[in-house]
Amino acid sequence: MPNREWNGAGICLPLRGFDGADALRFGKLSENLGYDSVWVSELASYDAIAGACAIAAATERITIGTAIVPFTTRTPALHAMGHSTLGSIAGDRAIVGYGLSTEPIIKGWHGQELPKALPTVRDLFSIVDQAMTGEPTDYDGSVLSSHGFRLEKPTSTPPQRVIGALGPKMREFTREHADGLILNFAPRSTLSGFAERERPADKPDHELVLPIRVAVGDDLDAQIHRFRRETASYMRVPVYENSLRELGFGEVVDHVLKHDSLQAMADALPDGFADDMGLVGTEDECREKMAQMNADGVTPLLVPIIDPGDGETYERTIRALAPR
């Protein structure tokens, strides 16, 4: 990321209950409020690359990232086209974030088998790199292949690339072949250790970002209830369960997972662990926690805790924590 000083914050745009026009409006607002970056996610609403391009065309300063675009819901050629399109519009403000996604999304929604992450991203990056030269692709990988695809006019400023990586082998690949790491579902107390391990000594600008759930104010019962259920639901996903165990939270995982219903799991979350997983509290409390994340070497990407379509709470939250 250009001119990264590790002292700011980014915004993740809302997903459920919003459309592309909402994404564009909040993207422009994020720049006006002074945030470092705005990140376009992708689930079942708007397209991340299209949204990022629209925001890039309507802004001047803010960095625009995607967090995340799944490896396989686009072909490698289409990834290269999106890569080039975003870079040609946003220039050096563009970052593309990749990730594996989950089986319900890849297999259920998109009718694909969920591939192994490491060989897939290795193939994907190889093909995109070939395409960005402007020469025809000629690549056979263990998962992905491409032959004869040629970008007509590749951008001269390709986006930086970051990867959502959980396992040690994927994080090693990220250190060697990407410009940064997207953490997810990582307790704040672990971030300084992540930064020490995951930022290579020869790559001081290696990006480390963490999308983190945020609720600001004094009357937060409904948002805390939603946050605890969401946190508990993540723990039922094996990759996140294993990640927490690796980080030393095995006892917490065992305590929560012994309950059957999601609500019982949410109620079983220790208060200290729940606090560690988000930014919840008064404006001053949240700002203090954000500052600590920056001090630990990680940039928070704020994800306001809202009901689907609740733009009022989303806007109020990002305004409350905007740079002063």
9/291 Cα distance (integer angstroms): 9
pLDDT exceeds 50 at position 122 = yes
Alpha-carbon 111 to chain mean position: 23
- Superfamily for domain range 10-217+282-320: Luciferase-like domain (3.20.20.30)
Q: At what angle do helices 48-58 and 20-33 cross, to 10 degrees?
A: 40
The domain limits of the chain are 10-217+282-320
Strand partners for 160: 95
Mean pLDDT of all residues in 107-111? 95
Cα angle for residues 300, 115, 176 (degrees, 5° grid): 50
DSSP state of 304: E
Q: Place 4 in a pLDDT band, splitting at 50, 70 and 90.
A: very low
Strands 63-70 and 94-99: parallel
Whether the CB-CB separation of 294 and 304 falls below 8 Å is answered with: no
Mean pLDDT of all residues in 129-136? 97
324/318 Cα distance (integer angstroms): 12
> How does pLDDT run across 200-242, given as a tens digit for each residue?
888 888 999 999 999 999 889 999 999 999 999 999 988 899 9
Q: Which pLDDT belongs to residue 115?
A: 93
Whether the CB-CB separation of 124 and 76 falls below 8 Å is answered with: yes
Report residue 230 as tokens.
């969401």
Give the mean pLDDT of the chain: 94
Mean pLDDT of all residues in 117-123? 97
